[in-house]
Structures are given as C-alpha cells and as structure tokens.
Amino acid sequence: MEIDLVENIKNGVSVEFLQKKDIKQHPYKKTLKKAGFKADQDSVCFLYAKDILVCGIEQNTQESIRTATASALKALKNSNAAAANFEVNKKNIQAIVEGLILGGYEFTRYKSKKQKAKLKNIYLRCDEITQLAEAFENAVIVAEATCFTRDIVNTAPDDMHPETLAKLAKNLAKENGLECNILNEKALKKERCEAMLAVGRASRHGSKLIHLAYKPKNAKKRIALVGKGLTYDSGGLSLKPATSMVTMKMDKAGACAVLGIIKAVSELKLDVEVHAFVGAVENMIGGDAYKPDDVLISRKGDTIEVRNTDAEGRLVLADVLDYAQDTVKNPDYLFDFATLTGACMVALGQYTTGVMGHSSRLKHSISKAASTAGELTAPLPFNKYLKRQLKSEIADICNISNKPYGGAITAGLFLDNFIKEENKEKWLHFDIAGSAYTESPWDVNVHGATGAGVRFMTQFLQSLK
C-alpha cells in the first residue's frame, strides 16, 4: 500500500470525517439516516454510489481522527476499493498518516499464504504540497520506526535471540550511520556485569550488551536510553505458568523501543545526541540456571539476593544502567524502557505506560509529549516505605519486595538503587508491560506489539531546545 501526498487529485474512494452535529448539513444526510449512521467515534458508512466513505469522529482532534483513520482503512481493505483519498491539512496530517501506517500494520512473516488486499494506493490531498511535505515526511518516519519496533517484538524467540538482535542492531547502525559497539560475554565478564550474565547463564544463546550512538554536530542535549532486552523469559527456575509464557517474546519490547527511537531520531536528523543501550538476554532453565537464594554481585558492586528468578529484567537493567552512566558521563536525560511488571497492568490497565522517577517536572514534560503523540502515560509515586520492602537480611538489596503490594513501584525503586546521585533528577523509568503488546486491537494497535514508547519519546526529543 503506497501513501502519497498529492495536490488536489481525487482518485478512488473519498474519505470524510463527520461529527454528529454535522450530519444535518451533509449533502447525503437522508442516505446516512436510512443507513442508521450516527457518527459515533470510529463508525463507518460506505456511500457506494458516490464513492464516499464517511467516518464518525467524536471531536475534531488528533486522537479522534487518528483512530477513525485506522477504522476507515480497515473498511477500505475489506472493500473492493483499489485507491482512496483523504483531505489533509497541517492540523490533521500527522494523525492521518499514523492512522494509516500504524492501523494498517500487518505482521505476516510466518503466514504461508498471505492475503493480498485490493487497496493499493492512498492519496493525501492538500492545497499546497510544499507547506505539508516536511510534516508528512516526519510523520512517516516516526510511524515506520514504530512499525520497525513492532516487527522485532513480534518475531518469534527462536528467530530473535540475543545474537540475532545484535546483528539487527549492527545492520541498523550501518544503514543509519550510527556508531555501534557490542559486548559479548567475555567483554561483559570484564565489565563485571555478573547480574546480567547470571540471568542468561542457562541459555544456549550468549548474552549481549548493545550500544548504538547517534552523534550529530553541535548537539543541544545528550540522551541515554536503556532497554530491557529479554528475548524470551521462561521465568527461569521460578518457572512461569504455561499460559503466562505465551507472548513472552514481548519481554524484549523495551530494547526494541530504544532501537526504534534512535532509528527515528537519526532519520529526523534531530540535533540531540542519543545513545541506545540494550541488555539482550534469554532467561531459560537448565543445570546452569541461576537460582533463588543466589547472591549476585552487580557491576556497581552492590550484592543482590535473588528470591525470584522471574524478576530478572531488573537484574539485567541494574548492570546496563550502571554501564550506560559510566559510558555517557553527565547525560541531560537518562530513560529506561522495560516490560518490567505485571503489577503495572494491575495498577494502570493494559493501555497505559507507568512512569517513575524523582523529577515531577520531567514527568510532566513526558506526559505532555505523550498526550501530543497519542500515547497514554501515568506517574506512579515512589515512597520510602515501599523502598524498605527491598531490604535483604543477607545482601545489600533483594530483587523482589517482601510484600505482595506495589510491585511496579518496588521494581522501579530497585532500579533507582543503581542510578548515580547526580543523575537522579534526570532519570525516568517507563514500565511498558501493559502498553507494549495487545491481543485485542485498540486505537491504532492491531494484534501483537504496539511499539509503545517510540512516538512519545521521539515527540519529547523533538521538543528539546
């Protein structure tokens, strides 16, 4: 499906957005009434004789138009239409492009018979192409980076393990002119990343620490991004139930997000320096698996009592965060992305990313960027009483809380233990456990990975001055 920005050329089905209050003024209001069309959000009505598809929107906002566009595309793909056109302007072009690309996303790698839709061309009609060309290109870059992220997350664990993820990162670096450094297990041992190495010990795939860097001249800011890259999580010896292991290919979504973000930033040519760090590990079982009751020594030097091997992502992130802070001295911002806890879904539901950190101002800036980008975020508050629940009687810290409450926050507080004092106000932790993957379509998300984090972080980086 090709999407082109054109200057007032009508070709194929015309797509219109309509609010309830506007039905009475529509030239085919009688036909719409007979069809029972009430302009409810995301509802559609084909006026076949006129080659028009009418889509209901609750309000004339980016959010309403984005989801309605996705619904319109689904209806078009199920029709006999070979082409369709949308009228765009500077207010709605980003929403329409995202609705088309994200809502039209399909992951068909493992389908032996791929269905071919008749819809081949989408035309975005405007009065003056030069005024919208940049906005169009930028929207396409961000949407395609989100789909790039989705593709990696959706890839089966036997095809996307630490070694193949490292190879993918190398290819991305080559294509986008990024610096690339990959640490194998020998290098990780030299770096004293014993917590990370313990998690991957039982896997036949060696663990990797991936570092990509985008360094434009005269960069205004330096950003360090860290992603949890559990290419598969069985739970280790604290084995997950069988039903919970299904979809655990998505436990690498944080890593995939930071790769998607640096892809978008480099293609947008933003004047910010971005470093993406990925801890790529597979958590498996076997005679060499790390165990509950083990005490691990982190790269920072703190000892960690293991009481649950399914709380493994935080062990990987502890070492990667420490490595990132030593590699990128004095960053302006430090962000980590991780499918860290099911508790975050209990707290916020499956659609919302949990945001944790010490700076209220930074959390507010992220919330603003997320709202603009069309992603949902919500802050979860730290407090000293929950921090006490990570106390260990035999080590410096325990990898799980001693109480079954506030699990998302205690996981964030565990990571906080590995943030240097000078970076505390610059750091935020994003728990994308709920928002990164869905088995029920919502908004512009189809079954599978959503690409959570790519759009709102790119929006935030674009807003930096």
Known catalytic membership, residue 240: yes
Q: Using CA atoms, how far apart are residues 131 and 25, in angstroms rounded to an integer?
A: 30
Q: Using CA atoms, how far apart are residues 431 and 89, in angstroms rounded to an integer?
A: 35
Residues 6+ apart with CB under 8 A from 54: 16, 18, 26, 32, 37, 39, 44, 45, 46, 47
Give the Å distances, CA to CA, from 296 to 8, 210, 305, 396, 417: 64, 22, 7, 10, 15
Q: Using CA atoms, how far apart are residues 396 and 394, in angstroms rounded to an integer?
A: 7
Q: Using CA atoms, how far apart are residues 303 and 390, in angstroms rounded to an integer?
A: 12
Give the Å distances, CA to CA, from 383 to 56, 240, 352: 44, 29, 21
Known catalytic membership, residue 361: no
Among 222, 252, 299, 314, the one annotated catalytic: 314
Q: Using CA atoms, how far apart are residues 114 and 50, in angstroms rounded to an integer?
A: 31
Among 20, 74, 192, 240, the one annotated catalytic: 240
Active-site annotation, residues:
240, 314
